[in-house]
Structure 1
Amino acid sequence: MISLIMPFKNTAAYLSDCLDSILEQSYKEWELIMVNDHSTDDSYMIAQAYANKEERIHLLENKGAGIIKALQRGYSFSSGSFISRMDSDDRMHPERLNHMINALKAKGLGHLAVGQVQYFSTDGISDGYARYEKWLNALTQKGSNYKELYKECVIPSPCWMAYRADFDRCGGFQKERYPEDYDLTFRFYAGDLTLIPCDQVLHYWRDYPQRTSRNSVHYAQNFFLDLKLHYFLKLHYQPERPLVIWGAGTKGKHLAAAFQNEGVPFSWMCDNPNKIGKTIYGVSMQDYQEIDHLEHPQIIVTVANPQAQGAILQFFHLRQMESLRDFFFFC
Structure 2
Amino acid sequence: MCTPKVSVTMPCYNCESTVGEAIESILGQTCSNLELVAVDDGSADGTAEVLREYAANDPRLKPLFLEHQGVVGAANAAIDAAEGKYIARMDADDIALPERIEKQVELLDVDPETGLTACRVGFGGNREQNGGYAHYVDWINTLIEAEEISLNRFVEFPFANPSIMMRKDLIAEHGPFRDGDFPEDYELILRWLESGVKMRKVDEELLIWNDPPDRLSRNHPKYNVDAFYRIKSEYLFRWLQKHIGPEPKVGIIGSGRTSRKRYQILENMGVDTAFYVDVDPRKVGMLIHGKKVIHRTEIPAAGETFLLSYVASWGARDEIAEFLDGRGYVMGRDYLLVA
TM-score, structure 2 as length reference: 0.87
Closer/same/farther in 2, CA of residues 250 and 11 from structure 1, 3 Å limit = farther
Identify the residue that residue 158 of structure 1 maps to in structure 2: 162
The reply to whether residue 170 of structure 1 matches residue 174 of structure 2 is yes
Amino acid paired to 1:316: L
Q: CA deviation at 1:16?
A: 0.8
Q: CA deviation at 1:226?
A: 0.9
How far apart are the structure 2 equivalents of 1:29 and 1:269?
A: 55
The reply to whether residue 13 of structure 1 matches residue 21 of structure 2 is no
2:158 counterpart SS class: coil
The reply to whether residue 243 of structure 1 matches residue 250 of structure 2 is yes
Kindly report which structure 2 residues correspond to 1:139-154, keeping only aligned pairs within 5 A, or say none: 139-140=143-144, 144-154=148-158
Identify the residue that residue 102 of structure 1 maps to in structure 2: 106
Closer/same/farther in 2, CA of residues 84 and 297 from structure 1, 3 Å limit = same
The reply to whether residue 226 of structure 1 matches residue 230 of structure 2 is yes
Closer/same/farther in 2, CA of residues 92 and 232 from structure 1, 3 Å limit = same
The reply to whether residue 217 of structure 1 matches residue 221 of structure 2 is yes
Q: Structure 2, unaligned stretches of length 5 or more?
A: none
Cα deviation 1:7-52 (Å, max 9, x = unaligned):
1111121111111111111111112222222322222221222223
1:112 counterpart SS class: strand
Cα deviation 1:157-197 (Å, max 9, x = unaligned):
22121221234333232465621121122233223333345
Amino acid paired to 1:242: K
How far apart are the structure 1 equivalents of 2:101 and 2:195?
A: 23
Identify the residue that residue 301 of structure 1 maps to in structure 2: 309
- Are the equivalent residues in 1 in contact too, given 2:229–2:262 (CA < 8 A)? yes
Q: CA deviation at 1:80?
A: 1.0
Identify the residue that residue 272 of structure 2 maps to in structure 1: 265
Closer/same/farther in 2, CA of residues 306 and 109 from structure 1, 3 Å limit = closer
- Are the equivalent residues in 2 in contact too, given 1:21–1:91 (CA < 8 A)? yes
Closer/same/farther in 2, CA of residues 187 and 175 from structure 1, 3 Å limit = farther
Identify the residue that residue 117 of structure 1 maps to in structure 2: 121
The reply to whether residue 317 of structure 1 matches residue 325 of structure 2 is yes
Closer/same/farther in 2, CA of residues 116 and 136 from structure 1, 3 Å limit = same
The reply to whether residue 74 of structure 1 matches residue 82 of structure 2 is no
TM-score, structure 1 as length reference: 0.89
Amino acid paired to 1:212: L
Cα deviation 1:220-249 (Å, max 9, x = unaligned):
000111111011012233335422222133
How far apart are the structure 2 equivalents of 1:16 and 1:64?
A: 20
Q: Which moved more, 1:250-259 or 1:178-187?
A: 250-259
- Are the equivalent residues in 2 in contact too, given 1:91–1:203 (CA < 8 A)? yes
Of the candidates 130, 137, 144, which is equivalent to residue 134 of structure 2? 130
Q: CA deviation at 1:321?
A: 2.2
- Are the equivalent residues in 1 in contact too, given 2:302–2:328 (CA < 8 A)? no
Kindly report which structure 2 residues correspond to 1:43-62, keeping only aligned pairs within 5 A, or say none: 43-62=47-66
Amino acid paired to 1:88: A
Amino acid paired to 1:12: E
How far apart are the structure 2 equivalents of 1:276 and 1:219?
A: 34
How far apart are the structure 1 equivalents of 2:305 and 2:89?
A: 39
Identify the residue that residue 204 of structure 1 maps to in structure 2: 208
Q: CA deviation at 1:122?
A: 7.0
Closer/same/farther in 2, CA of residues 314 and 138 from structure 1, 3 Å limit = closer
How far apart are the structure 2 equivalents of 1:195 and 1:177?
A: 25
Q: CA deviation at 1:202?
A: 0.7
2:332 counterpart SS class: coil
How far apart are the structure 1 equivalents of 2:328 and 2:284?
A: 26
Identify the residue that residue 330 of structure 1 maps to in structure 2: 338
Q: Number of paired residues?
A: 330
Closer/same/farther in 2, CA of residues 254 and 62 from structure 1, 3 Å limit = farther
How far apart are the structure 1 equivalents of 2:234 and 2:106?
A: 34
Q: Percent identity?
A: 26
Runs of 4+ residues deviating >6 angstroms: 122-125
Q: CA deviation at 1:125?
A: 6.2
Q: Supply the RMSD in Å over aligned alpha carbons.
A: 2.6
Amino acid paired to 1:108: P
Cα deviation 1:107-135 (Å, max 9, x = unaligned):
12444332110012378663323322222
